Amino acid sequence: MNMFLKILSKLGYKAVINTQIEVYNKFKKQYPEVSENDLLNLLIVSRTVTPVRLPGVSFLEEKTHYQPILDNPNKTLEHVIWAIAKYEYFESEYAHARIQKHKMPDWFLGEMKQKIQDYIKKMIKKV
């Protein structure tokens, strides 16, 4: 298990989550008149238009992944950040390749998903 924790720590899920919360807070201050749903959409769109993307992941692949979330008028900050983390660490082609390369077992992936979700909840309480 120690090897798996080293791999995951290199992926930096806490940094991704913290960055998304920082960007959300920045947007919220910058656009106080914008609805929560529009702020969350802005957060998602900012993630897809960044020039830094996962290796081998196209803009179209990201846009396709995030479209259902953009279309959901009842999303929350927690849902959006979880969708970003889940995609980057478990669902993208890049994530699948890393999971296969390191032969991460399902039980470990389940534990890591829970750990990430718990961290998201903890950090959102501070918003």
pLDDT digits (tens, 9 = 90+) for 6-60: 444 455 889 889 989 999 999 999 999 999 999 999 999 988 876 666 777 777 8
Q: Which residues of 5-41 are buried (b: 16+ CB within 10 A; e: fewer)?
A: eebbeeeebeebbeebbeebeebbeeeeeeeeeebbb
CB 115 within 8 A of CB 85: no
Number of domains in the chain: 1
Question: What's the pTM?
Answer: 0.84
* Alpha-carbon distances of 91 from 6, 40, 119, 123, rounded to whole Å: 20, 21, 19, 22
pLDDT of amino acid 11? 53
Alpha carbon distance 82, 12 (integer Å): 14
pLDDT of amino acid 85? 93
Q: Which domain holds residue 77?
A: 2-124
Using DSSP's 3-state secondary structure scheme, residue 6 falls into helix
pLDDT digits (tens, 9 = 90+) for 111-126: 999 999 999 999 999 8
pLDDT of amino acid 17? 93
Residues 65-72 have a mean pLDDT of 94
Alpha carbon distance 68, 66 (integer Å): 6
